[in-house]
Amino acid sequence: MSEETTRASQDLDSRENTMRPSDSWKPASSLPQPSPRDGFEHRWIRTSMLGQADNTNVSQKMREGWVPVKATEYPEIDFIPEVGGRYPDNIEYGGLLLCRIPKEQLDKRNEYYNEMAVNQMNAVDNSFLREEDPRMPLYKENSSRTTFGRR
């Protein structure tokens, strides 16, 4: 074989010729995600479960500040309105309704729940440590040392 034939066959087997195209197929997400809007967060709210309406969940989320989005405001989301759906002008998939809330309101909500969690942990710690007796401590900082060789 000549040197030119070897080089030609190597060129045909180059990495670029064996690479897969970067736009490979992926399965569709079960719920489409809206394009981000400045100042808003989006979430899918459960409207029904196992075919039964979940009015309690919907009303709780609405009181928290979540507002159903209009389908006309999100043209990038292709959807078919659910037959017999309670929200015909909104985006609803399989018992889930797309809603949004202003980021400031969501931050205040998250701050409230974080503070509540901290207060609950403090209450548990205080209740636990109140039972402590110096003769039999319930909580004790442990420290250990590892030494090598002789002392």
At 109-146, the pLDDT tens digits run 999 999 999 999 988 877 776 776 666 666 666 666 77
Q: Which residue has the tokens 């985006």?
A: 91
Same domain assignment for residues 93 and 51 = yes
The answer to the question of residue 57 being in a domain is yes
Same domain assignment for residues 55 and 78 = yes
- What range does the domain containing 48 cover? 41-100
Per-residue confidence in pLDDT tens, the chain, 151 aa: 555 555 555 555 555 556 556 677 767 667 888 888 899 999 999 998 888 888 999 999 999 999 999 988 888 887 777 776 778 888 888 888 999 999 999 999 999 999 999 999 988 877 776 776 666 666 666 666 777 777 5
The answer to the question of residue 148 being in a domain is no
The answer to the question of residue 120 being in a domain is yes
Domain boundary among 54, 84, 100: 100
pTM of the predicted model as reported, rounded to 2 decimal places: 0.61
Q: Are 98 and 34 in contact (CB under 8 A)?
A: yes
Residue 104: partners with Cβ closer than 8 Å, 6 or more residues away: 39
